[in-house]
A and B are shown apart, each in its own frame.
Chain A
Amino acid sequence: MALLKNYGTYREASLNEVDFMPATNEEKQALAPMRKSVSFWKDGLNRLRKNHIAMISLAVILLTMVFSFVGPEVYPYSYEQQIRGSENLGIMEYSEQELARKASGETVFPHILGTDNLGRDLVIRLMMGSRISITVGIIAALLILVIGSSYGAVAGYFGGKIDMIMMRIVDIIYSVPDILIIILLQVTLKYPLKQLANNVPGFGWINTIGVGLICIFVVFALLYWVGMARIVRGQVLSLKEQEYVTAARALGASHGRIIRKHLLVNCIGTLIVTTTLQIPSIIFTESFLSFIGLGVSAPMPSLGSMASDAIDGIQSFPHRLIAPAVMISLIILSFNLFGDGLRDAFDPKLKK
């Protein structure tokens, strides 16, 4: 103890024997790092947690998820159930027969947002519509992640001629106007997919998911992976020069193993951020397709098709338009802001 206190004076004086004594336990503790080492994930999560906008958007995303995935399970109406006599109800209105049932002592769940012209409850349709939008966004983004990252990693890793040819293909797909091809594919894929589902055994699952949805997945997976491929290639190009890749190669690791275990793992931040930011843009396009009548097939609701259906009755039932419109904007906005937050936290290099 005395030794530590007098440290300053000793330093100025010349060194003596005491300075070369083995360190006591207390001294050792004083030199131990004060903070625990912070891993990549912890560091990023800490930064994310401090970002209020990102946390609020995450809360909104979670709430919408509960609303759209848990909601329909507990809600008393179903999205395709057409209640006779309860058509075109306004907000919180009951039809005559429902009033009669109420008068006789039954409990009737209120139509919080009313019903549409076929007597379908609007809240449950809103829930199902959001479910479709979010599912499409997430699954398509994952497809894009798988295709884009493996393509980009292979191109970047092997380099040379392979890289050149692969990236020229990407360039060409990139310059093809996406919406035009999406619309065309959307229209043309439906029929062969239906044929496949009905006639070839083992493809019946297509019908349970819905041809429209499968079409959307295929279309997005076919066209939107190019952006991801470019980003991953860029990362891999610099990562493959790192020593650990040389070390892995020296140890005899195969190309596949190096790509999977070393290169892709090391650009995980970029992958997460790009995938998250892909989700809102897919939801955006999906709602656009549904709005012009090329999205999921009826009676499955989608936020876009709900808005499109509501236009005819806009004079008398404006809430039918406003509800899906607000919902879709909210979902896209919260995913956008959360993605921005993730990028700032995990991949500051990507920030533009």
Chain B
Amino acid sequence: MTGYIAKRVLMAILSVFLVATITFFLMFLVPGGPFLSEKAPSEATIKALEAKYGLDQPVIVQYKNYMLNLLRGDFGLSIKQRGRTVWQIITAGFPVSAKVGGLSIMIALLIGVPLGSVAALKRGKWQDNVIIFLSSAGVAVPGFVVSTLLMYFLSVKIKLLPTFGLGSFSHYIMPCTALSLYPASYITRLMRSSMLDVIGQDYMITAKAKGLKQSAMLFKHALRNAVSPVITYLGPLLAYTLTGSFVVEKIFSIPGLGKEFISSIINRDYTMIMGTTIFLAFLIVAMNALVDIANKIVDPRIQLK
């Protein structure tokens, strides 16, 4: 067990390091520097600015400096947003994204797990067919389609919900719906198939034979065993929610991390690109590792390799 955890953590660190390295060297391929804007500053100013951010040094030296700073938890200064450190921008944007994303993940779980179980228990009946149809449609509709259509019908057409910002509770409804539709449908499908699997197991027949109540059978035996694939999906789900937030935050003008990431790429804000990528990669990789480890602890049947 300890060996497995150590291996998993090591791999997580390695992949974050890999992402950081790839990102760093990729950025130097990007045409146009951060100081080339419409009103071009003079040659001397650019030189001075490059010296200030250390951009005049060889790439390898810059890489070494950046990595050393990163180990100390220093993400550097944002090049475009003068006077703010990357860490400040990340810590300002992340809570906003986390609120929207966390809410969406919760909605997805609260919808997906019960719906999937119902579909499995009512296999072949109309409830099952309706749920299968809805969830198949749900995984086929991209997030930006849901967001824009919701926005059109709910706030442009009938003016029920506010279009952008995050002032009140009603602001959260549309972004969270848009973000949770795909994962909710996916979890429903996942839950249905794993529930079907569990229902056919011998221990379910044993439970029935020894006269357990329906509810005890369902919650104690079936649900607990069937929910394991859903837990595994939490890692990819987090990644999906984070990347889905790029689009949703853009459409609904939410000042979150996803929006910062996209705009930093478009603005060629080197340090911001590095910072946000590493931060997001760390979140996703750490979550995946945690889920894997948790799953092995919870479910001893998964063999340790």
* A residues apposed to B, CB below 8 Å: 171-172, 175-181, 183-185, 187-192, 280, 284, 287-288, 291-293, 304, 307-308, 310-311, 314-315, 318, 321-322, 325, 328-329, 332-333, 336-337, 352
Q: Chain B residues with Cβ under 8 A from A308's Cβ?
A: 144
CA gap between A265 and B28 in the complex, in Å: 43
**Interface of A (DSSP majority class):** helix
Tell me whether A181 and B156 are in contact (CB under 8 A). Answer: no
Tell me whether B144 and A304 are in contact (CB under 8 A). Answer: yes
Among A178, A181, A187, A292, the residue within 8 A (CB) of B247 is A292
Tell me whether B285 and A321 are in contact (CB under 8 A). Answer: no
Q: Chain B residues with Cβ under 8 A from A192's Cβ?
A: 29
Tell me whether B30 and A188 are in contact (CB under 8 A). Answer: yes
Of all chain A residues, which has the CB nearest B133? A53
Tell me whether A176 and B15 are in contact (CB under 8 A). Answer: yes
**Interface of B (DSSP majority class):** helix
CA gap between A336 and B193 in the complex, in Å: 17
Tell me whether B140 and A332 are in contact (CB under 8 A). Answer: yes
A145 to chain B minimum Cβ distance, whole angstroms, is 22
B143 close to A (CB within 8 Å)? yes
B205 close to A (CB within 8 Å)? no
Tell me whether B285 and A177 are in contact (CB under 8 A). Answer: yes
Q: Chain B residues with Cβ under 8 A from A307's Cβ?
A: 144-145, 148
Tell me whether A184 and B142 are in contact (CB under 8 A). Answer: no
Of all chain B residues, which has the CB nearest A194? B31
Q: Chain A residues with Cβ under 8 A from B262's Cβ?
A: 183, 292
Tell me whether A314 and B156 are in contact (CB under 8 A). Answer: yes
Q: Chain B residues with Cβ under 8 A from A175's Cβ?
A: 11-12, 15, 285, 288-289
Besides A179-B239, A180-B280, A183-B262, 17 more A-B contacts (Cβ < 8 Å) are A172-B14, A175-B11, A175-B12, A177-B239, A177-B242, A177-B281, A179-B246, A188-B30, A288-B144, A311-B148, A318-B156, A321-B149, A321-B152, A322-B149, A325-B145, A332-B142, A336-B140
Q: Chain B residues with Cβ under 8 A from A172's Cβ?
A: 11, 14-15, 18
Tell me whether B143 and A191 are in contact (CB under 8 A). Answer: no
Interface residues of B in 133-159 (CB under 8 A from A): 136-137, 139-145, 148-149, 151-152, 156
Tell me whether B31 and A184 are in contact (CB under 8 A). Answer: no
Q: Chain A residues with Cβ under 8 A from B273's Cβ?
A: 184
Of all chain A residues, which has the CB nearest B197? A352
CA gap between A269 and B266 in the complex, in Å: 43
A73 to chain B minimum Cβ distance, whole angstroms, is 28
B120 close to A (CB within 8 Å)? no
